[in-house]
Structure 1
């Protein structure tokens, strides 16, 4: 994994993106739906990751607190480096924040070069979620 400090025994990172002011309940519901869709137990989650402009966003911090994992944040330049590995790159997101995706990119960036997406971006009305894990060939 990257040099982010979190429990490396856990194999998955939840990437989140959201509009400012999105309700914590909406983002948490999306996070739970993402874990369920990927067949991942809450105990397998190592961290929640997002873009640094959401570093104080109540909804993202609430999700990390709910799962009792750290929240880690990356700048748009670092997230943009993940573009070749994204399942759902977006020119609209790039125009708004300077990278082609937040949820997928953040999940991948948190793990590092060995990451693979196990759940591409899913959406609610005002948020996105994706899940990455340490690549099986590297674990």
Structure 2
């Protein structure tokens, strides 16, 4: 993972999970909804994060490009370490990818050990999104 740089403006991480081949528009609309629920603009994002099996997923990469932030990816084992901090752990997700939550776990992993969820997992038909705030910078 590349290091995520946080500052007073860019203190949030958008975590994304999706099925392979999910349309870009579906994931982007869900990302925008998550930011609305957090009451912030895309300018508050420091990164988009997901599981490493989505490193080449067009929708995840397109969302990062849309917000002009890096996309960072984590192994399922690293995301599983975030399970105690998840608002919505899922046995179904664990059975499929080896961690109890992709969107929440990736957002928290990227935002750091003292991060907190600002928006717990929200879903569309084929994707999930969550927002975490870095514990280094509070808004």
Partner secondary structure for residue 125 of structure 1 = coil
Aligned counterpart, 1:48 = 48
Aligned counterpart, 1:12 = 12
Instruction: Please say if 1:60 is aligned against 2:60.
Output: yes
- Provide TM-score, normalisation by structure 2: 0.94
Unpaired runs of at least 5, structure 1:
none
Counting only pairs closer than 5 Å after superposition, residues 116-127 of structure 1 correspond to structure 2 as 116-127=116-127
Aligned counterpart, 1:77 = 77
Which of structure 1's runs of 4+ aligned residues deviate more than 3 A? Answer: none
Aligned counterpart, 1:110 = 110
For residues 36-63 of structure 1, the C-alpha deviation after alignment (integer angstroms, 9 at most, x for no partner) is 0110111110000000000000000000
Tell whether the 8 Å contact from 2:93 to 2:101 is kept in structure 1 after alignment. yes
Tell whether the 8 Å contact from 1:48 to 1:72 is kept in structure 2 after alignment. yes
Tell whether the 8 Å contact from 2:83 to 2:105 is kept in structure 1 after alignment. yes
| CA drift at 1:8 | 1.3
Tell whether the 8 Å contact from 1:34 to 1:131 is kept in structure 2 after alignment. yes
Tell whether the 8 Å contact from 1:34 to 1:119 is kept in structure 2 after alignment. yes
For residues 72-93 of structure 1, the C-alpha deviation after alignment (integer angstroms, 9 at most, x for no partner) is 0000000000000000000000
Count residues in correspondence.
136
Unpaired runs of at least 5, structure 2:
none
Partner secondary structure for residue 89 of structure 1 = coil
- Provide TM-score, normalisation by structure 1: 0.94
| CA drift at 1:4 | 3.7
Counting only pairs closer than 5 Å after superposition, residues 16-35 of structure 1 correspond to structure 2 as 16-35=16-35
CA distance in 2, matches of 1:79, 1:8: 20
